[in-house]
């Protein structure tokens, strides 16, 4: 039975899973779950993930959620190159250390501008200016920590080759920009564009009013997410 991946490439964790599977030529069937259309709240997807979140993986009768768990599962099951998920215990611990920090300090923080500039206006909501300012400060702090603690003078975050942790776009910081360039070169421009095409054109789509109007199922969840912006 072919592996199934339930993804929306608007989501950074989904893009990380997609990039890893594609780069490593892992055969899978893409099951697109469009968050703005509320497809994650459908009865069909509830059978896959009762938490109504993407990404999700279905491997026969085995179902797995959360991007970090999925990345590790794919790396181990398909026995990909050691640099993705090294056998050395301390090297793995470093990956887990970064992934934990990434979830708290990168994923949540750098997703906020998308909500401020695109998703909140899409449903007629507005993020208070003081929250916008706090987010800018949090992004600057997180970028400095990423640069100083996790990247340092290394070519990649752990060791000398990429690990399966995904990445975000950084500007104005030479070391981080160079790191991003190395990761993109390793993955290949075509694959990067394939995975990031939707998010890279999101502002253009918003300006053209071509984004789908969020469904009632998505609307309440979006309001809850906006209210949780610190």
- 73 lies in the same domain as 166: no
pTM, two decimals, is: 0.89
User: Among residues 11, 43, 77, which one ends one of the domains?
Assistant: 77
Any domain includes 192: yes
Question: Which region, left, alpha or beta, applies to residue 124 given φ > 0 means left and ψ of -120 to 50 means alpha?
Answer: left
pLDDT in tens, 176-192: 888 888 888 988 989 98
Average the pLDDT over 28-45 and give the result.
95
Give the sheet arrangement for strand 28-32, strand by strand: 28-32, 3-7, 56-59, 62-65
- 73 lies in the same domain as 160: no
**For 194-202, which contacts have Cβ atoms below 8 Å and span 24 or more sequence positions?**
194/22, 195/9, 195/15, 195/18, 195/19, 195/22, 196/9, 196/15, 197/9, 198/9, 198/10, 199/9, 199/10, 199/12, 199/15, 199/114, 202/10, 202/114, 202/118
Q: Map tokens 């994650």 to a residue.
A: 40
Higher pLDDT, 158 or 181: 181
Residues 194 and 210: their CA atoms lie apart, in Å, by: 19
- 109 lies in the same domain as 71: no
- 202 lies in the same domain as 94: yes
- 53 lies in the same domain as 114: no
Which range marks the domain in which residue 190 is found? 89-227
Specify the CATH number for the domain of residue 96: 1.20.1050.10
Specify the CATH number for the domain of residue 73: 3.40.30.10
Alpha-carbon separation of residue 61 from 21, 48, 50, 148 (angstroms): 19, 10, 15, 43
- 73 lies in the same domain as 96: no
- 99 lies in the same domain as 203: yes
Question: Taking Cα atoms as reference points, which of 46, 47, 38 lies closest to residue 8?
Answer: 38
pLDDT in tens, 48-65: 999 999 999 999 999 999
Any domain includes 18: yes
Average the pLDDT over 20-29 and give the result.
96
The number of domains in the chain is 2
- 44 lies in the same domain as 118: no
Any domain includes 82: no
User: Among residues 14, 45, 77, which one ends one of the domains?
Assistant: 77
Q: What is the pLDDT of residue 5?
A: 98
Model confidence at 163: pLDDT above 60: no
Any domain includes 185: yes
- 38 lies in the same domain as 66: yes
Torsions phi, psi for 144 (to 5 deg):
-65, -40
- 40 lies in the same domain as 152: no
Per mean pLDDT, which range of 10-19, 22-31, 78-87 is the poorest?
78-87
Any domain includes 157: yes
Any domain includes 84: no
Question: Taking Cα atoms as reference points, which of 31, 5, 38 lies closest to residue 19?
Answer: 5
- 136 lies in the same domain as 169: yes
- 67 lies in the same domain as 101: no
Q: The tokens of 214 are what?
A: 């969020």
């Amino acid at each position: 039975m072919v592996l199934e991946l339930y993804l929306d490439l608007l989501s950074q964790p989904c893009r990380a899973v997609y990039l890893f599977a594609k780069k490593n030529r892992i055969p899978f069937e893409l099951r697109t779950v469009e968050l703005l259309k509320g497809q994650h709240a459908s009865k069909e997807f509830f059978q896959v993930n009762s938490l109504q979140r993407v990404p999700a993986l279905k491997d026969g009768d085995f179902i797995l959620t959360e991007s970090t768990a999925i990345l590790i599962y794919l790396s181990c099951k398909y026995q990909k190159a050691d640099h993705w998920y090294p056998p050395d215990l301390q090297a793995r611990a470093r990956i887990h250390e970064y992934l934990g920090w990434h979830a708290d300090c990168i994923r949540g923080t750098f997703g906020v501008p998308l909500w401020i500039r695109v998703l909140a206006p899409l449903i007629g909501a507005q993020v208070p200016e003081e929250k916008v300012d706090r987010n800018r400060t949090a992004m600057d702090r997180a970028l400095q920590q990423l640069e100083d603690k996790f990247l340092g003078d290394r070519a990649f975050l752990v060791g000398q080759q990429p690990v399966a942790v995904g990445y975000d776009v950084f500007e104005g910081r030479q070391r981080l920009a160079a790191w991003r360039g190395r990761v993109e070169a390793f993955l290949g421009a075509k694959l990067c564009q394939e995975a990031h095409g939707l998010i890279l054109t999101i502002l253009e789509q918003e300006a053209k009013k071509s984004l789908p109007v969020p469904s009632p199922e998505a609307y309440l969840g979006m309001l809850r997410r906006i209210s949780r912006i610190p």
